Amino acid sequence: IDIEDSSDYVTISYTIFKNQDKTNMVGGSGDGNGAKERAYNHMSFNNNIWQDTTQRAPRARFGQFHLYNNSYTGNTDASSYPNSYYIGMGAESRILSEANVFDMTGSKSAVGRVFSNYNGYQFKDVGSWFNGVAASADLEAAAKAALEARYSSAVSAGASSGFTVAAYTNELGWTPPYSYTLGSSAAQVREHNLANAGAGK
């Protein structure tokens, strides 16, 4: 599912993404041209399952992204659809992650592999888990490290293409304008999504 070209106020919920490479891209104008995206892309992804997907769950560009109560499972060593990363922090994305369950196996399994940085610098986590363990602080540290590992090249790309790059922050400048209920535990989120996500449910 790609969402682009000034799309706005879109929710993807209770969907199963399974055995895929590039699952979700938001923002189609490219990291260097936010003209069609910058004022748009208010997105919610909730109660979805990403199972054995390689990347882009989602890859986020130019917008406000609320990711909550989602379940992620992947194996970095899988022969088909090995996990590369879950969340792609794209240019000027402001990502709020809440009560997400990130499960990962394989020889390269690590909290840092939740992210790939594509010039994004704003990410906040509240109450998520990595392999069953509460991991908000670790997730934010990993998001910061992913940016810092390529900060010089991100700044150079921003200077040449016009998007904003700054030091990592968990201050997003927005809060969700709707009510919602967060999962109470990793097990509860997994079980709820398995019981309710997918066609016909």
Taking only the tens place, the pLDDT of each residue in 41-57 is: 999 999 999 999 999 99
- Residue 33 pLDDT level (bands cut at 50, 70, 90): low
What is the predicted pLDDT for the residue at 36?
Answer: 83
Answer yes or no: is pLDDT of 29 > 80. no
What contacts 79, CB < 8 A, 6 or more positions away? Answer: none
Q: Are 29 and 36 in contact (CB under 8 A)?
A: yes
Q: Are 143 and 168 in contact (CB under 8 A)?
A: yes
pLDDT digits (tens, 9 = 90+) for 100-149: 999 999 999 999 999 999 999 999 999 999 999 999 999 999 999 999 99
What is the predicted pLDDT for the residue at 30?
Answer: 59
- Residue 172 pLDDT level (bands cut at 50, 70, 90): very high
Half-sphere exposure of 139 (CA within 13 A, CB side): 29
In this prediction, residues 69-73 reach a mean pLDDT of: 98
What is the predicted pLDDT for the residue at 138?
Answer: 98
Q: Give the residue carrying structure tokens 């923002």.
A: 27
> Taking CA 189 as the corner, what is the angle to CA 198 and CA 186, rounded to the nearest 5 degrees?
140
Share of the chain above pLDDT 90, in %: 91
Q: Are 190 and 101 in contact (CB under 8 A)?
A: yes
**Length of the chain measured in residues:** 201
What contacts 168, CB < 8 A, 6 or more positions away? Answer: 121, 122, 123, 143, 144, 147, 148
Q: Are 69 and 47 in contact (CB under 8 A)?
A: yes
Half-sphere exposure of 129 (CA within 13 A, CB side): 20
What is the predicted pLDDT for the residue at 32?
Answer: 60
Composition of the chain by helix, strand, coil, percent to 5:
20, 35, 45
Residues assigned a catalytic role: 56
